[in-house]
Amino acid sequence: MSERRELYRSPTGDCWFLGREPTSGAAFVIHQPNGPGGSQLSHVELGAFLVSGKSDRPEQQALLRLIGTLVDVPPYANRA
């Protein structure tokens, strides 16, 4: 079973999760359509997810924000 963290939930009820396979460490995006959609879960490789469609989709922006939180940025030094 993969581990997952919710990235984004659309107003229509679709959900996107960041998933990771515990044994291999492989990361991917899981799309869970809303109930009425009737579709099954889909797993998408991270790179493919980020280049698919328009780059301003809220679920893509949520993944980029999460990735940004992983960067430890030291405070800027005083500049002369």
Q: How high is the pLDDT of residue 55?
A: 67
On whether residue 8 sits in a domain, the answer given is yes
Query: Considering its fold, how many domains does the chain have in total?
Result: 1
On whether residue 78 sits in a domain, the answer given is no
On whether residue 22 sits in a domain, the answer given is yes
On whether residue 29 sits in a domain, the answer given is yes
Number of Cα atoms under 13 Å in the Cβ half of residue 66: 18
pLDDT in tens, 23-62: 988 899 999 998 776 678 899 999 899 888 766 789 999 9
On whether residue 76 sits in a domain, the answer given is no
On whether residue 48 sits in a domain, the answer given is yes
In contact, 55 and 46? CB cutoff 8 Å: no
Instruction: Report percent pLDDT > 90 for the chain.
Output: 40
On whether residue 74 sits in a domain, the answer given is no
* Position 38, amino acid: G
pTM value is: 0.75
Domain that holds residue 41: 3-68
On whether residue 75 sits in a domain, the answer given is no
Q: How far apart are CA 20 and CA 75, in angstroms?
A: 31
